Structure 1
């Protein structure tokens, strides 16, 4: 756990960081993926009568490689009567462009509510942040309840925001208590046998079955896979999130279609059906004349029914000349050899078009 700065509200406004405390950045390695930020409110009596919907934005802070801020509503977060009389706090993702959803477990509490500041309570509440949905929070406490409580002292109180960022926590967790090592290319990866076996039947067989890998104390060699692909595979196993696109084999110019194909192959190899479906869905968005045969080939080889169907639907609407050109390629010949039913299914679709 790492401290991620403090925001101080006084006289109805946010004090400048230099007047309060500068935001502190902590690396995932030192935080274990867990940060907390404090919102110190001074002069509550001057805040409670502010209009419903009045917002005070806290200081920006960094956690898990992203910029965040708290949004504080002293007397309701909207103009509706339902939120009036409630103090609301929200966690806001300040980064404008987010490549993929960020999974966060969050908890708001008063600074002395230590029972709420434990992993079990924090992990019970989960939110996803993305480019179009960058805020999460709730009505924190009713004003009259705050005034009756012991949290309000000398007209001041402090709210603590704990957040555990899934991808950062996984990166830190992998390094702690790891009991198996994989060598992939020139790189090594540490992991946990029980977690891998719980997510993948293939890992279960390799690590706990009668196979050599289940009993060896040395590193396990993974053949025919790039290190970055295996790293992405581990990332999915620990976070259940679609991995970010990564370079394959150190090649800078690898496009997303190639990356997704590598990942789909890896997912099929280790029987990670959810990841495989994610790759299928992403690949279906990239089907065009330049990619359809390559994607169809992978779909046929790895028994991706939905992706295969998407490719055939795309070919169905093409002109006879374009379709003839596709079927004359060596890629199509390889597809037909891998899955002879492809041609029959395409003919059936063309017949239904007429």
Structure 2
């Protein structure tokens, strides 16, 4: 009888122990599942999203992107360096405003006026991908814009675009910046950009044929290599600073309220080569961007698109777009992807609402 009782007790204890262990496993699994599902939002990595509206690579204005992600275009990644905010844009899809190009990009919700400005944007980033296809003769092929100053008024031109560009087969790409003239008069079709190299080449270095590439830049930046830009506009002057480990620090200055391009004789040689042959030969109003509200942009503004180079040899890349199918473009490298590690913005007291820009462009 004693043996039976002892056996029953032992069986009971063993069953109880198994149930307890299973319960612990289930509880641990629940905790693991919960941990795995936790989303790290971009606004936790770079807490400055109150200053921006986010436009996605499908043309949608997602608004102020606190505690927001979109797995196709805007999310976070983690590597040995920590957390990063990812901006991704295909070669083709729905676009924002009147642009031919897709973007996943932040647009500042306030605008400021260059003459009275005391505003600053800085960011540390790495470009992870540029389009695998595109006509090598087209200057914008294989390029992405990672930071801008944009006008909110009149022609809505861009006194600053910061580019990264890398040709297929090259290890290193180029970083350069553009100034776009604020065209005199009502007709903006004659506008053009002037490109300045930071590391590597400027915009004008292109292939001789659609599938041959120029020499790789010796002092360029590789995909996945970090660099930092700082943009400050104060009292009408734009100051730029570019830094990257192992590269020379570069600084530039540009007057935004007094033009140096007011006559045809002022058009630089680079512009004569790139833009004048396609009819973009305008001049700038003497006061440049004086009196126009300007604002910062940051993200991935893909410069490669599927439009025929016959339309515009500088901006229409003839790249693969798979009819706008985003996933197919992502599968074979036809997109731009930029990761930001840190960023900060300083907004002057004189800045005002930029809502008019978004209301004009959100539904075009």
Q: The TM-score by the shorter chain falls in which range?
A: under 0.3
- Higher RCO (Cα < 8 Å, 6 or more apart): 2
Higher fraction of helix = 1
User: Normalization by structure 1: what TM-score?
Assistant: 0.21
Structure ranking higher in strand proportion: 2
Q: Using structure 2 for the length normalisation, give the TM-score.
A: 0.21
